[in-house]
Structures are given as structure tokens and as C-alpha cells.
Amino acid sequence: MPLQNPPDWWMFELELSEHLEDRMDDRFFNEVDLRIMIDDADGIRVGSRIGRWVIETTHNDDAWEVVVEPDERDEVIVVITAYKVTPW
């Protein structure tokens, strides 16, 4: 189910950060998985840094978070990182 009331930048092209690319193999996902996680987002919230957002989603039946930084000038979403949410 698509995210209800997504932000204006939601449909911008994705740009993968170097940090993310370094982590993808270690965390067992690829760009296709990432795009599916974003398309299937359950929610979105303001991130801990100004200009960043956290997309709440799932991957392989586990909760994941994808940290993004929209660049409205260039109309891209820079994907900073993605990680499995671990219970405390």
C-alpha cells in the first residue's frame, strides 16, 4: 500500500550515498530491494538532523529504516543509509 500523503519530494529520483553503497553488501540488500522498501513505506518521520527524514518500512519481514535527505533544488533524494531495526 502506498504511503498516505507523501511529501512533495517523494517522487524525486534516488541518489545513493557512498556510505549507503558501502553498507549494502554488509546488510544484505541491493538497490532493487531499497527501491521496494521505499515504495512500500509504512511511515515517515523527521530525522535527527535538519533536512533528513526516516522512512519506516520492512524488508524480508523485518522492520527497517531508510534515512534520506531530499534535495529540492536538484530534485533528488539522497539516500544516506538503511538499516534493520533491532529491538532493545
Contact 14, 79 (CB under 8 A): yes
**Identity of residue 11:** M
Predicted TM-score of the model (pTM): 0.94
Task: Flag residues of the chain having pLDDT under 70.
Answer: 1
SS3 at position 42: coil
Tens of pLDDT, residue by residue over 57-66, are 999 999 999 9
Residue 13 burial (CB < 10 Å; 0-12/13-18/19+)? exposed
Report pLDDT for 52: 98
Report pLDDT for 15: 97
Report pLDDT for 1: 61
Structural domains for the chain: 12-84 (3.30.2310)
Nearest to 38 by CA among 86, 6, 74: 6
